[in-house]
Amino acid sequence: MKYKSKKIKYFRSSTFFLGVTIVFIIALIGGIRYVCYEKEVASMPIHSVDTNDKEIALTFDVAWGKNNIDEILQVLEKHNVKSTFFLLGSWIEDNKELVEKIHNAGHEIGNHSNTHASFKNLSKESKVQEIKLVSEKIYDITGEKTSLFRPPFGDTDKETLEVSNSLDHQTIKWSLDSMDWKGFGANHVIDRVMKNSEPGSIVLFHSNVSNVENYIDTIILNLKKDGYKIVPVSEITYKENFKVDSNGVQKLQNK
């Protein structure tokens, strides 16, 4: 009987130890997953959005020249479309009236840095200043804070994302480059955008390209015919309970 009793006690203690070990391993795996998830969210800019709505965002990087701004605004007004303009700090300084015009037309203004330097080559302090200075300039003119940052050249690293997040900015890149800056012509831009657009796309255009207003006009017409609603970036992105996968697709956490 004593032998059986010892055997039972040994079995119980072994079972208990095994159970504790399993619980510990599960908790450890869960912790690792949690840490990885947090790192993924913090280290990826948003390229596009996973959405069930047929929505798309048209964005304009504005860094050089001012000749096309009025024409772009006229086309957007013609189609009752609101877009997002990412403005360079030095451009803001030289074109305050145009900044007001963009804002008063109801468009969204984002931060495109102060000097258009690659953020991969800047110190942390310089990154902070590049973003803060432009956000302050935008606020001084419009009276509204911007929450969007697009890094020059799309260059990002972990530190850039951390700085942007700490300043309450979502870092926005793009899923579809119109390639308007390559000078292939309007038909190439139109064809590229229409073939590659999908719900949740963020499309990149540049304001200083010749005849930009002409292909924007055609693209908006075609997107609307295809059933798309064109919205500013802040209307297509999630503000909470989201994750960003390794491809830069922003998703709700439960998906």
Q: Which residues are bridge partners to 87 per DSSP? A: 62, 111
Handedness of CA 145, 177, 251, 229 (dihedral sign): positive
Beta bridge partners of 249: 48
pLDDT, tens digit only, all 255 positions of the chain: 544 454 444 445 554 444 444 434 444 444 433 333 443 444 699 999 999 999 999 999 999 988 899 999 999 999 999 999 999 999 999 999 999 999 999 999 999 999 999 999 999 999 999 999 999 999 999 999 999 999 999 999 999 999 999 999 999 999 999 999 998 999 999 999 999 999 999 999 999 998 899 999 999 999 999 999 999 999 999 999 999 999 999 999 986
pLDDT for position 250: 97
User: What is the per-residue pLDDT for 204?
Assistant: 98
CA dihedral defined by 184, 73, 236, 96, rounded to 10 degrees?
110
Q: Taking a C-beta distance cutoff of 8 angstroms, is the pair 92, 69 a contact? A: no
For residue 205, what are the contacts with CB-CB under 8 A and spacing of at least 6?
58, 59, 60, 61, 178, 180, 212, 216
Which residues are within 8 A (CB) of 28 and not within 5 positions of it... i.e. 6 or more apart? Answer: none
pLDDT of res. 21? 46
Residues labelled catalytic: 61, 206
Distance CA 20, CA 69 (A): 66
pLDDT of residue 211: 85
The 10 Å CB-count burial string (b at 16+, else e) for 115-150 is ebbebeebeeeebebbbebbbebbeebeeeebbbbb
Query: Long-range contacts made by residues 247-254, C-beta under 8 angstroms, separation at least 24?
Result: 247/47, 248/44, 248/45, 248/46, 248/47, 248/48, 248/173, 248/175, 249/47, 249/48, 249/49, 249/50, 249/200, 250/46, 250/48, 250/49, 250/50, 251/49, 251/50, 252/50
What is the predicted pLDDT for the residue at 43? Answer: 63
Q: What is the pLDDT of residue 35?
A: 37
Q: Give the model's pLDDT for residue 146.
A: 96
What six digits make up the tokens of 121?
Answer: 């080559």
Residue type, 17: F
Q: Read off the pTM.
A: 0.83
For CA atoms 9, 11, 12, 13, the dihedral sign is positive
Task: Specify the pLDDT at position 135.
Answer: 98
Residue 210: per-residue pLDDT: 86
